[in-house]
Amino acid sequence: MNNSEATVSRAPASTNKTMDNKEGKELENLALQKVLEVSSAIDAAKQVDEVICALHSLGTLIFSVDSSLISGAIDQRFKDHILSVKCATDAERDSFKNNFYHGPAFPTMSRLLLFVVAPNWLAQFAKSVRSQIYDYFFLEGPLIEVLEALVPTLSQKGIDKDPVLDKICSSAERLLVLCFLEKEGIRRMVIEFDHVKIQKGVTVKKEDKDFVSRVAQLLASIPDKTRPKATSKLSSFSFFKQATIQLIAGAEEKALQLPRELDAINKDSPRSYAILFVGETFSRIIRRGSTDIVVSEMTSRIYDLVKSLLSSNSNASLPSVIESTPKFWFWLNLIETIRDQYSVERLAEGILRQLALRSVTDTEAYWILWLLFNRSYNHIASIRAMFVDKFLFWKVFPVSCLRWILQYSVYEEAPTSEAEIKWQKPPHFVDTLQHLVSIWSKREFVQSSSMEQQAYLTAAVGLCLEKMSKQELETAKDVLNSILQGVSCRLESPIDLVRKMASAIALTFSKVVDPKNPLYLDDNHCDVVDWEFEVLTQKKVITTSSSKKQIINNPKSPLPKTSREKLTDKKETRSSILIEEISDKGVEDEDKDYNSDCSSDTSLEPYDLSDDDSDLNKNFTQLGDIVAALKKTDDPDGVQGALDATEKLVRTSPDELRHNSSDLVRALVHVRCADVAAEGEEESSEEKRQKALVSLLVTCPFETLDVVTKLLYSTSVDISQRILILDVMTEAALELSETKIITKEQQRKGNLITSTSQPWFIPGERGPVGAGPWREISGSGSGMLQNWSHQYERELPSRSGQRKLGKTRKWSVANSKDLQQEWSKNRFPLYAAAFMLPAMQGFDKKRHGIDLLNRDFVVLGKLIYMLGVCMKCMAMHPEASALAPSLLDMIRSRDVSHHPEAYVRRSVLFAASCILVALHPSYVASALIEGNQEISTGLEWIRTYSLHVAEVDSDTECASMAMHCLQLHSEMALETSRALESADRVKAQSRTLPSKLDNIIIPFANMN
């Protein structure tokens, strides 16, 4: 016999209690002796027919063999021997079979078949012979014993190099498929755990739970141990799917075989070891990452059972019907048999989500949860904690799942109209609500939790509040104060969705206190609250731009729209509606007959000739008069007229503008539009004020900025005025940076940095006499990163004696056409320092009424956003390289970059992306060559900070923006490396470059 046999650990077999011990021992020794005889005959065999005869002689003692099939497939010399073998009677066969499989004979025989016959002789067996005298040794045996014999055979070292071991494993895999999948051996094995009929009147019981766990482990480990080239039936998905189907079928069949008078199954009784085996196997399948397979099969089966149950019974009688029906006993006890808490949680979570996908009703979902978890929920503390703690505070489910969790574990009542009327709140209902509200109201929760988690907990609080009465709410300890605190801190948030959550809770709370007077905190209110908040059902897709050009032209703002942008959107919407109405009316009017205008009664009505004194309104022509009018808050009409005239007058750039700009800015900042505007016109007045301030910043930048930046940190303005200042600075920067293509003849002489001659990034006109003009060409290749791939070329004259054209020089920076006559003019870089430096100075100092790092974090977020926009507005200009280090120092501060509010972190990431967009790669390369650590350290910080945020930040928007920063950083790294390679080539041709170039380290060279 082959010495490479695997040792199998197995439980000691039970013997027939009615059989005499001595007689049983003799039969076991006889069976083992027969096996040894077969082994000796196989070892001495010279041809395959001898092996077949040896196996046939033993097989006839154990199972019924069709000798005629075998004799037809062997040589004539051995045919008479096969046909002359006397077959045993049924009684003798059953007695021998029992001792063969439950004694030492079968393990020995299985190793002989797998390690000797399979690699050496099995390939020569005819198919009929293999089925009769080889496969039947495994098919006729107890499935537990067969599993213990086959699975350890799969774990063979060196199987890839040894063809003998490969044949052994191949044979074992074939037998596993045959015995447990094709013949449904797993289903039959479930029943064997409680009673296996081996002989009439004989029952074998296995009472060791560890043995059950060991068998479950063997079954679940089959896909892990098979060869890579094994049949697909043994792959994890296919095998576990078939195993789950058979396990459920076997358990339900086993439950039906139990005595009908049993009220329940005691898990400590030997009768429940079949269900224990199913639970242990499910636990191991779940641990191997195939939860969805178990959940899918379980949900499909149990949903059909509950649906049929609800169609024929009322809710009141369902518990007694379920307890008394045998087909439900398996499901009632399944969760108790799964001793691994992680597997229970994964299973429960998967079932909830699967039910949500099936769109089951609330009643069906409740009874499914009741059927599966009711017994364990009442007796096991960890199961109760899973529902009322983990599923409410740590997980995020769709709102439908949340309703089912609350209905089952908090309300503890089936969702029917009758239950709503007679429902008595369980004792722990108020305690659960207090716990929910206490966590929901904390500012730290709002700052550190993801938007999905906040929406989920808000929905849980709101759904519980809907079940409360005014009297219960007043008697509940600290619930009222916690709700008010949570609503208040959310209303302070600049994020729209967070404020919407506060409005939803406030509305629900007001309906409990006074149903006739609901409190609406949102203009777009609705009587029925949508607890999904657009985040609990919709999967967010993180996308990033593939081009810096898109960021430059249309950056994604991490902050809410300014009031001016909102007003503009509303105006466009109203205009489009008005145009549609006019168009529709015009179409209708075309069908009408207007031949007789005089026939209309309305045409005979007199005109209204009353004087509306509109011509008596004062027309402002002097800025001083506007300033005086704005300060007269007791004259609303005068203030409104001044607001109407300011922008138009400022845009004309009168001579007095430089002298009156300071007073005008102060007056505009301090005027209260809400106090002077007519009802319903507040937004229009606010828009006019913002436009007036923007026009001042654009037409008279330095004088206006001097006043505005001082007011920003002044104690005489409030937070709304600071936000106004930052909004108008942002819009003014964008207006100043609007690119205009002008011709050389149109260019006026001035002292702008970017207009002293032609722009710095355009190739020079120097060159040999006769050189052609520069012209733009498309970038070569189809590779990534076309942001700096705009190239220019010109033809050079041939040298003396040279016939063909000279080299073509190419330059790449910006997009321009006909560069000898046209270039872009951006007015903002001249004023960039005046915009940014005073605003950054002293932002972290706490003054009287000013605390940007804590209380006034909205202003801090707006400030960083404005600075990022300023960097974007001077992209690719030298001023960006000069101002970028200061902005990097500001956002690198730990109080800023790791601010607890996601609003500020979004602004930091936006500013970092703008820096990456604004810096020219050639400047970064020059800084590295010169040893400028300020830029290299700052860029490396952007990379590490973005990686950190993408990995650990709870805010989804922050993670998305961080990934976008990483993409921009990689683009910058690539372009900078190209610039450095160009510098290396220049260095090789010249000795004038500094020696520092030898040891340049790109700060982002370790990017993958």
Query: How much is the average pLDDT of 485-513?
Result: 90
Q: Side chain identity at 209, as an amino acid letter?
A: K
User: Looking at residue 410, what DSSP letter applies?
Assistant: I
φ and ψ of 812, to 5 deg: -145, 115
The least confident of 423-432, 858-867, 991-1000 is 991-1000
Which of 773 and 330 is assigned the larger pLDDT?
330
- Same domain for 309 and 450: no
Q: Is the pLDDT of residue 868 over 90?
A: yes
DSSP-derived secondary structure for 640-702? HHHHHHHHHHHHT--TTHHHHHHHHHHHHHH--HHHHSPTT-HHHHHHHHHHHHHHHHHHSHH
CA 25 to chain centre: 64
pLDDT of residue 606: 56
Which of 284 and 77 is assigned the larger pLDDT?
284
The least confident of 86-100, 163-177, 214-228, 656-670 is 86-100
Q: How many residues does the chain have?
A: 1008
pLDDT of residue 593: 42
* pLDDT band, very low/low/confident/very high, at 613 (cuts 50, 70, 90): very low
* pLDDT band, very low/low/confident/very high, at 424 (cuts 50, 70, 90): confident
Q: Side chain identity at 801, as an amino acid letter?
A: G
Q: What b-and-e string marks burial along 417-435, b requiring 16 or more CB atoms within 10 Å of the CB?
A: eebeeeeebeeebbebbbe
Is residue 877 in some structural domain? no
Which tokens in the block code for residue 425? 């709140």
- H helices, E strands: number in the chain: 47, 7
* pLDDT band, very low/low/confident/very high, at 259 (cuts 50, 70, 90): low
pLDDT of residue 91: 82
349 with 307: CB under 8 angstroms? no
User: Looking at residue 388, what DSSP letter applies?
Assistant: I
User: Looking at residue 754, what DSSP letter applies?
Assistant: G
Q: Is the pLDDT of residue 205 over 70?
A: no
pLDDT of residue 546: 35
Is residue 165 in some structural domain? yes
pLDDT of residue 347: 95
Which of 768 and 374 is assigned the larger pLDDT?
374
CA 500, CA 601: separation in Å to the nearest integer? 51
* pLDDT band, very low/low/confident/very high, at 233 (cuts 50, 70, 90): very high
- Same domain for 447 and 350: no
Reference 901, options 447, 386, 522; nearest CA is 447
Q: What b-and-e string marks burial along 100-131, b requiring 16 or more CB atoms within 10 Å of the CB?
A: bbbbebbbbbbbbbbbbbbbbbbeebeeebbe
pLDDT over 70, % of the chain: 75
Which tokens in the block code for residue 730? 């942002």
Is residue 192 in some structural domain? yes
- Same domain for 429 and 384: no
CA 430, CA 472: separation in Å to the nearest integer? 9
Which of 375 and 90 is assigned the larger pLDDT?
375
pLDDT of residue 266: 45
| Residue whose entry in the numeric block shows the structure tokens 């605190």 | 485
Q: What pairing do the DSSP bridges indicate for beta strands 775-777 and 811-812? A: unpaired
CB within 8 A of 289, min separation 6: which ones? 236
Is residue 443 in some structural domain? yes
Reduced 3-state DSSP string for 262-328: CCCCCCCCHHHHHHHHHHHHHHHHHHCCCHHHHHHHHHHHHHHHHHHHHHHCCHHHHHHHHHHCHHH
Query: How much is the average pLDDT of 262-272?
Result: 45
| Residue whose entry in the numeric block shows the structure tokens 């300071």 | 662
Which of 420 and 783 is assigned the larger pLDDT?
420
pLDDT of residue 313: 74
Query: How much is the average pLDDT of 432-440?
Result: 92
Which tokens in the block code for residue 547? 């081009």
* pLDDT band, very low/low/confident/very high, at 61 (cuts 50, 70, 90): confident
- Same domain for 268 and 199: no
What count of other Cβ atoms lies within 10 Å of the Cβ of residue 596? Answer: 8
Q: How far is the first Cα of the chain from the last one, in angstroms, to the nearest whole number?
A: 56
Q: Is the pLDDT of residue 820 over 50?
A: no
Domain boundary among 482, 509, 539: 539
Reduced 3-state DSSP string for 821-853: CEEEECCHHHHHHHHHHHHHCCCCCCECCECCC
Query: How much is the average pLDDT of 986-997?
Result: 48
Q: Is the pLDDT of residue 819 over 70?
A: no
* pLDDT band, very low/low/confident/very high, at 243 (cuts 50, 70, 90): very high
Q: What b-and-e string marks burial along 460-489, b requiring 16 or more CB atoms within 10 Å of the CB?
A: bbbbbbebbeeeebeebeebeebbebbbeb
Query: How much is the average pLDDT of 666-680?
Result: 78
Q: pLDDT tens digits, residue range 675-704?
A: 776 676 767 788 888 999 999 999 999 999
Domain boundary among 522, 539, 556: 539
- Same domain for 259 and 187: no
* pLDDT band, very low/low/confident/very high, at 636 (cuts 50, 70, 90): confident
Q: Is the pLDDT of residue 766 over 50?
A: yes
3 state DSSP class of 470:
helix
903 with 559: CB under 8 angstroms? yes
pTM of the model: 0.70
pLDDT of residue 825: 74
The least confident of 39-53, 513-527, 740-754 is 740-754
Q: Side chain identity at 732, as an amino acid letter?
A: A
Q: Is the pLDDT of residue 591 over 70?
A: no
Query: How much is the average pLDDT of 265-277?
Result: 61
How many structural domains is the chain composed of? 3
- Same domain for 101 and 59: yes
CA 567 to chain centre: 34
CA 368, CA 387: separation in Å to the nearest integer? 15
CB within 8 A of 810, min separation 6: which ones? 777, 791, 792, 793
- Same domain for 312 and 264: yes
- Same domain for 260 and 118: no
Domain boundary among 496, 524, 539: 539
The least confident of 251-265, 446-460, 923-937 is 251-265
Which tokens in the block code for residue 1007? 């990017």
Q: Which of 179-183, 420-424, 446-450 tops mean pLDDT?
A: 179-183
Which tokens in the block code for residue 711? 């007011």
Reference 959, options 909, 914, 893, 925; nearest CA is 909
User: Looking at residue 235, what DSSP letter applies?
Assistant: S
Is residue 886 in some structural domain? no
pLDDT of residue 927: 83
- Same domain for 193 and 239: no
pLDDT of residue 780: 45
3 state DSSP class of 6:
coil
Domain that holds residue 498: 425-539
Give the mean pLDDT of the chain: 78
- Same domain for 512 and 464: yes
38 with 55: CB under 8 angstroms? yes
pLDDT of residue 777: 66
CA 931, CA 927: separation in Å to the nearest integer? 6
CA 338, CA 342: separation in Å to the nearest integer? 10
Reference 32, options 99, 91, 120, 89; nearest CA is 99
799 with 807: CB under 8 angstroms? no
Q: Which of 196-200, 374-378, 951-955, 961-965 tops mean pLDDT?
A: 961-965
Longest CA span, the chain: 133
Query: How much is the average pLDDT of 796-804?
Result: 63
- Same domain for 261 and 186: no
Q: What pairing do the DSSP bridges indicate for beta strands 196-197 and 791-793? A: unpaired
pLDDT of residue 934: 84
- Same domain for 39 and 144: yes
Cβ contacts of 207-210, under 8 Å, gap ≥ 24: 207/270, 207/273, 208/11, 209/273, 209/276
pLDDT of residue 177: 95
CA 256 to chain centre: 44
pLDDT of residue 18: 42
pLDDT of residue 619: 73
Which of 385 and 424 is assigned the larger pLDDT?
385
Q: Is the pLDDT of residue 94 over 90?
A: no
Q: Is the pLDDT of residue 542 over 80?
A: no
pLDDT over 90, % of the chain: 34
SS3 content of the chain, % helix, strand, coil (to 5): 65, 0, 35
Is residue 197 in some structural domain? yes
Q: What pairing do the DSSP bridges indicate for beta strands 822-825 and 196-197? A: unpaired
What count of other Cβ atoms lies within 10 Å of the Cβ of residue 97? Answer: 21
Is residue 272 in some structural domain? yes
Q: Is the pLDDT of residue 812 over 80?
A: no
Is residue 279 in some structural domain? yes
| Residue whose entry in the numeric block shows the structure tokens 């910080």 | 941
* pLDDT band, very low/low/confident/very high, at 274 (cuts 50, 70, 90): confident
Q: Is the pLDDT of residue 969 over 50?
A: yes
Q: pLDDT tens digits, residue range 324-370?
A: 888 888 898 899 889 899 999 999 999 999 999 998 999 999 999 99
